[in-house]
Chains A and B, each alone.
Chain A
Amino acid sequence: MSASPSPPAIRVDAEVRANQEEGAENRRLRLGVPGWPGSAPGQFAMLSPGSRGAAERYDPLLPRPMAVYRTVPEAGGAELEILYKLSGRGTRLLADARPGATVRVVGPLGVGFPLPQLGQRALLVGGGTGIASLYELAAAAQARGPVVVLLGARSAADLMGRADFVALGVDLRVATEDGSEGTPGRVTELLETALAAPDAGGEIVYACGPTPMMRRAAEIAARRECRCLVSLENRMACGFGVCLGCAVPRTEGGFALVCRDGPVLDAGSVRWEEAS
């Protein structure tokens, strides 16, 4: 099954409803987005780097691509939840946005995840902020078969969205590099264990996180002959296929655009050694 077709993107000023801490360096932004046409699991939006104040500001200049973590349809639009990490000037300015402030949104953008086949077990691997791409997928995949979510972070304080996945009722397994929660080590080791289980075979693997993590997940999945999809997080200026800044080299030659051909790509189609 391929990803569902996407409605055309809109550009709209959204209202900040909440912007809360979610662990040490992470935030959860809730936006009221008028006219949001809905989005498929794995799609993203471009958010202005901080709120749009009394006057137009051009430094930082570019919007930031953010996974749509969760959407709740409402009259005349939707509420969007975005989970993000404070990683630079843009996200720090975004973290300053208070309820009532305006954030510009362009979306929904990109091609999301193809869903598992009926009855197929899905393994979702999220590292760090990568988990933000996987919540809606987990919810949609649950309607088709068993779902295992593997969450990884440096430490317990960096984990995002944990309670939401617990509430979904998926099989949730956690790994932290410092061992402060769950299994000590990397999330890809959880994947290796899950795929080595005696009842394993025929799974579909979805991975989103740092490039080395996705590359490793892709290798593990390939060894078990499982299809693996990754959601890439490249730098981009526009989000809709014109700046060509987010190009990622393909194994077959040439480039895929993360914004237009992705962000979800077949792991085997990415030339990982040149991907960042």
Chain B
Amino acid sequence: MTVAVDTEVNLGGITLRNPVLTASGTFGYGSEFAPFFALDRIGGIVAKSLTLEPRSGNLPPRIAETPAGMLNAIGLENVGVDAFLAEKLPLLPEGLPVLASVFETDIDRYAEVCKRLSGAPKLAGLEINASCPHVKSGGIEFGQRVELLARLVRETRRASSLPLFIKLSPNVTDIREMARACEAEGADGISLINTLQALDVDLATRRPALRNGLGGLSGPAIRPVALRMVWQASQAVKIPVCGIGGIMTGEDAVKFLVCGATAVQVGTANYLNPMAAVEVADGIERYAAAHGFARVSELVGTLRPYASSR
């Protein structure tokens, strides 16, 4: 097969050389992967979530392996927005789209982090992590209550003119309602899914497997749930969807494109294979070539329903 495939996609105003981004929290601040591949071979990076001040995170154990997946409760550990801008962002190559992820405990602080990031010359966009517990609402995630989510999108939209993506929590009854709220409040796109809230038990001690008790489940185990939600959300809104959830291979990523995602994020796979993101990008291109697609973007939303039987 020698047909050249155009892999470029436009994600809410950001041009990506291919539809593969790395998911926040799984790719550090990017430079950790420089020994393994040239970072400009992927579409872009979503950096580790940032808070206003540096945070040091939870006591161990912070991770646990589960069937075809893992649980984590790291606890917001990050260098803080100012150190990111001063020390981490400059290390990334020119021309590589970088989205900063923002994670906070109240809306004013979210907005303040967005404001500080807005002037950064290298930043392609913002991704708002809506899975953070809202302290004033007794710890419910911002992304779990539609009016709270709408307010979060409105205020972060007001704080920054950068392309704005909202990373949705899957721990909701109807993801379509959340997606519509983001669109109505001016988001440029949505990313989903974040981790599924989960629990495992250490039988030697009968304690939770994680110090935090609950954690977020990721990895191939969650992929079909993620595909379902991406498909539902992409049917509900016109803004682009970035698909996330257990993507390990190019074929996995193509399924997300077919279900309506414009681009994808590779997450947990980066841990077990530091070259996973590049391999996913190559695999998407191979699939497109083998199936006669001149442009990867032509795959988006091509899920073919069965003909109605009566």
Q: Do A and B bind each other?
A: yes
For window 242-256 of B, CB contacts with A under 8 Å fall at 248-249
Chain A binding surface, main DSSP class: loop
For B275, the chain A residues whose CB sits under 8 A away are 11
Check: A5 CB closer than 8 A to any chain B CB.
no
Check: A106 CB closer than 8 A to any chain B CB.
yes
For B59, the chain A residues whose CB sits under 8 A away are 249, 274
Chain A, residue nearest B246 (CB): A58
Residue among A11, A235, A275 making CB contact with B274, cutoff 8 Å? A11
Check: A139 CB closer than 8 A to any chain B CB.
no
For A234, the chain B residues whose CB sits under 8 A away are 60
For window 33-77 of B, CB contacts with A under 8 Å fall at 33, 35-36, 56-57, 59-65, 67-70, 72, 74, 77
A244 touches B35 (CB 8 A): no
**Smallest beta-carbon distance B101→chain A, Å:** 14
For A247, the chain B residues whose CB sits under 8 A away are 57, 60, 62, 74, 77
**Smallest beta-carbon distance B251→chain A, Å:** 10
A58 touches B77 (CB 8 A): no
A255 touches B56 (CB 8 A): yes
Residue among B74, B248, B270 making CB contact with A238, cutoff 8 Å? B270
State the CA gap A276–B67 with chains docked (Å): 23
Tally of chain A residues near chain B (CB < 8 A): 35
Residue among A10, A58, A253 making CB contact with B56, cutoff 8 Å? A253
State the CA gap A106–B270 with chains docked (Å): 12
> In the complex where A244-B77, A247-B77 touch, is A106 in contact with B62 (Cβ < 8 A)?
no
For B70, the chain A residues whose CB sits under 8 A away are 61-62, 237
**Smallest beta-carbon distance A34→chain B, Å:** 15
A58 touches B26 (CB 8 A): no
> In the complex where A245-B62, A274-B59 touch, is A61 in contact with B28 (Cβ < 8 A)?
no
Chain B binding surface, main DSSP class: loop
State the CA gap A170–B220 with chains docked (Å): 48
Check: A53 CB closer than 8 A to any chain B CB.
no
B60 touches A276 (CB 8 A): yes
Chain A, residue nearest B56 (CB): A254
For window 245-276 of A, CB contacts with B under 8 Å fall at 245-249, 253-255, 274-276
State the CA gap A262–B33 with chains docked (Å): 18
A63 touches B274 (CB 8 A): no
**Smallest beta-carbon distance A11→chain B, Å:** 6
A9 touches B72 (CB 8 A): no
For B33, the chain A residues whose CB sits under 8 A away are 242
**Smallest beta-carbon distance B204→chain A, Å:** 12
Contact with A along B224-250 (1 / 0, CB 8 A): 000000000000000000000000110
Contact with A along B272-300 (1 / 0, CB 8 A): 11110000000000000000000000000
A237 touches B63 (CB 8 A): yes
Chain A, residue nearest B223 (CB): A58
A58 touches B274 (CB 8 A): no
Contact with B along A6-23 (1 / 0, CB 8 A): 001111000000000000
State the CA gap A106–B28 with chains docked (Å): 17
State the CA gap A246–B268 with chains docked (Å): 15
B27 touches A242 (CB 8 A): yes
**Smallest beta-carbon distance B83→chain A, Å:** 13
B35 touches A237 (CB 8 A): no
Chain A, residue nearest B78 (CB): A244
A56 touches B248 (CB 8 A): yes
B271 touches A62 (CB 8 A): yes
Residue with the highest number of chain B CB atoms closer than 10 Å, among A63, A234, A235, A247: A247
Check: B87 CB closer than 8 A to any chain A CB.
no
> In the complex where A60-B65, A61-B68 touch, is A242 in contact with B26 (Cβ < 8 A)?
yes
Check: A118 CB closer than 8 A to any chain B CB.
no
Residue among B62, B219, B220 making CB contact with A244, cutoff 8 Å? B62
For A11, the chain B residues whose CB sits under 8 A away are 36, 273-275
State the CA gap A248–B77 with chains docked (Å): 13
A235 touches B68 (CB 8 A): no
A248 touches B272 (CB 8 A): no
Check: B94 CB closer than 8 A to any chain A CB.
no
State the CA gap A234–B63 with chains docked (Å): 10
Residue among B56, B61, B220 making CB contact with A61, cutoff 8 Å? B220
**Smallest beta-carbon distance A99→chain B, Å:** 24
State the CA gap A148–B32 with chains docked (Å): 37
A242 touches B273 (CB 8 A): no
Chain A, residue nearest B31 (CB): A241
Residue among A10, A62, A274 making CB contact with B65, cutoff 8 Å? A62
Contact with A along B68-107 (1 / 0, CB 8 A): 1110101001000000000000000000000000000000
Chain A positions near chain B (C-beta within 8 angstroms)? 8-11, 48, 56, 58-63, 104, 106, 234-238, 240-249, 253-255, 274-276
Question: Can you give 15 contacting A-B residue pairs, CB < 8 Å?
Answer: A9-B274, A60-B65, A106-B274, A237-B72, A238-B274, A240-B274, A242-B28, A245-B62, A245-B74, A247-B77, A248-B60, A249-B59, A253-B56, A255-B56, A276-B61
A-B contact sample (7 more), CB < 8 A, given A242-B27, A245-B63, A276-B60? A62-B65, A63-B272, A241-B32, A242-B270, A247-B60, A255-B56, A274-B60
Top 10 A-B pairs, shortest CB-CB distance: A245-B63, A8-B35, A238-B271, A242-B28, A237-B271, A59-B68, A254-B56, A58-B220, A58-B68, A244-B74
